[in-house]
């Protein structure tokens, strides 16, 4: 699903519930939502939404790897990444 498809789907769902929003307003609300989630993950390293899932920061240690082209050893820096664990309710809906 693309951003414009998400905006259209949310806008249609809002209309079905009697909430009148323009597509521009819907897009701005979605942008605010994702900015807020990103800020929460950055600040607390975790964001959980019931019946959907949990986003959390995953820490990766520095390690030694190999250059695939030359085979020589290289140092891979430590890093952070965001992981997602779906709630059982969401997992059941997908299966």
Which domain covers residue 7, as residue numbers? 1-44
* Structure-token match 């819907």, residue found: 26
The helix/strand/coil state of 72 is coil
CA torsion sign for 58, 37, 94, 4 is negative
What angle is formed at CA 82 by the lines to CA 9 and CA 31, rounded to 5 degrees? 35
Whole-model pTM?
0.78
Q: How far is CA 95 from CA 40, 84, 88, 92, in A?
A: 29, 17, 11, 5
Domain check: are 68 and 38 in the same one?
Answer: no
Number of H helices, E strands in the chain: 3, 5
Each of the 95 residues of the chain gets a pLDDT tens digit; together they read: 999 999 999 999 999 999 999 999 999 999 999 999 999 999 999 999 999 999 999 999 999 999 999 999 999 999 999 999 999 999 999 88
7 and 29 belong to one structural domain: yes
Number of domains making up the chain: 2
CATH number at residue 64: 4.10.520.10
């Amino acid at each position: 699903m693309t951003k414009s498809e998400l905006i259209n789907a949310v806008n249609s769902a809002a209309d079905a519930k009697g909430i009148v929003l323009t597509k521009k307003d819907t897009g701005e609300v979605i942008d605010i939502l994702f900015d807020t989630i990103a800020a929460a993950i950055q600040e607390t390293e975790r964001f959980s939404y019931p019946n959907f899932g949990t986003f959390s920061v995953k820490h990766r240690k520095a390690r030694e790897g190999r250059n695939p082209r030359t085979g020589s050893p290289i140092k891979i820096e430590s890093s952070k990444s965001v992981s997602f664990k779906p709630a059982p309710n969401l997992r059941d809906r997908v299966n």
